Structures are given as structure tokens and as C-alpha cells.
Amino acid sequence: MNGTVINGLPSPPSGWYEAIVQGAIYLAATQSTDKSLAFQQLAVSHAAHDTLLWTFHGTRLYATVNSKLKAILDPIGLNASSPDAVEATQTGREAAHTVVVARADDGINNFVDYTQKPAAPGVYQATPGGQPVPDTPQARFIRLFGGLGDVKRFRAPPPPAPTSPEYETFLDFVKAQGAINSTVRKPYDTETAYFWRESSPIGWNRLAHAVVGNKLATDVLASAKFYAQLNYALANAAIASWDSK
């Protein structure tokens, strides 16, 4: 759930906001299944627009988000003053409002103090020159998406004890692979590390786009459900990861 940087400004935690946006899109899609394709497309577009602005309003990205919606209005093809366009817009806005209200108290905004423990094997230490406090320590307490209940049931088993042979094996591996002038790290491993520097949810969504392509272009509900499930899973995995840490 690392923070990504949008136009030089910190964004909301990645994973969390994509799930909110896709959840609103799915809600708008379910509420317009009996309408024309253009109606459905306009409804989900407004749902995406409004939830994006809600999550990014502090970064002043109004013009960016507005321009993306404006760019697809003509291809959708509904006259802005027509009854269908007005209804579709309202459907999207109401879906966004419903999801935003549902997530407004999910724990993302709560302050959770983090006390740095004395340096010792197996104890987290801040990255030199990095942030003065860890990123989003409250993430472990965020309410899971999809009503999955207590995050603790997804908790990973603890790592080996710092005094165990298993721990030393992993430590030696990381030191050997991660050294600046490592003699054992292969070029492929270096490229893999650079690849995973990107926000993981963004990368997985791009992969999904590549796999799905235009197969769901005219099936708004199926497309919305697919991306909602994907991003709910990514957000929940991030929350569970923070809980395990």
C-alpha cells in the first residue's frame, strides 16, 4: 500500500483508491443494466470521475481528471442535455456518493502512532534519508473491501526467529543479492527489482488490460465486475500484508 507520486504530489495509498473507484463503477453498472450501452458507459464514467476527485482532491488534479472525462463524452455519444444523459450522470454520481460514504470511516484517515524500537536483529529500521515515520501504519486497521471480516484470519505466519539457522540463510541471501556490487546477482534479478519498484496495483491493472483487451468493451457490467474483483483483491492483500507486518 505504498504511496505513489502523481505530478510530484503524494497520492492516497495505492490499492485502496483503485478499489474505491472500481467499486463505484461496478455499482453504477449494476444500476444501469437495462439501459443502452451509451447510458451505461456514461454512468460508470461519472462514477469513476467523482470517486477519483474525492480521493485526489488534495492534490489539485481537477483539470487532469476532468479532461479525461471530457475526452470520452463525444465517443460515448449521448447529448449532454438529453434525458438519458442527465439520468446516466446522476446514476454515476449517486454510485460514487454511496461508495465514498461507505468508505469514509474505513480507518484510512486515522492516526496510528509508530514507536521505533531499538536496533536489533529482526527489528524494522528506518531507511536512511527516508521519511521520518513509516508510511501509513494505520493501513493494518483499514476495513477490508467486500465485507470479508477480520483481517487477522489472513495473517501470514511469522518469520524465522533472528537466532535461528533459517533466518541466517535468508539474511545471507539478501545481503549477497542486494549488495551494490553483487557478484552473484544476475542482470535478470536486477531488472526484476526495478520492475517491482512501481506501485503493484498499477502494474497488475496494466497486465489485466493487456490480457482482457477489448473483449469486454461492450459488456459494461462484466468489465466493471472484473476490475472491481481485481482491485478489491489487491487492496485487501495490501491491508493483510500490513497486518502481517
**For the chain, which residues make up each domain, given as ranges?**
3-112+132-159+214-244
Dihedral angle sign, alpha carbons of residues 6, 194, 13, 72? positive
- The answer to whether residue 5 scores a pLDDT higher than 70 is no
Let me know: does 201 contact 19? Beta carbons within 8 Å.
Answer: no
CB under 8 A, 24+ apart: contacts of 192-200:
199/2, 199/4, 199/14, 200/2, 200/14, 200/15, 200/234, 200/238
Tell me the per-residue pLDDT of 141-199, one tens digit each, with 9 for 90 and over.
Answer: 999 999 999 999 999 999 899 989 999 999 999 999 999 999 999 999 999 989 888 88
Q: What's the rounded Cα separation, in Å, for the pair 108 and 40?
A: 30
Tell me the per-residue pLDDT of 101-140, one tens digit each, with 9 for 90 and over.
Answer: 999 999 998 999 988 888 888 888 888 888 888 778 899 9
Q: What's the rounded Cα separation, in Å, for the pair 241 and 136?
A: 12
| N-to-C CA span, the chain | 12
Among 91, 11, 80, which residue's Cα sits nearest to residue 50?
A: 91
Tell me the per-residue pLDDT of 20-75, one tens digit each, with 9 for 90 and over.
Answer: 999 999 999 999 999 999 999 999 999 999 999 998 877 778 899 999 999 999 99
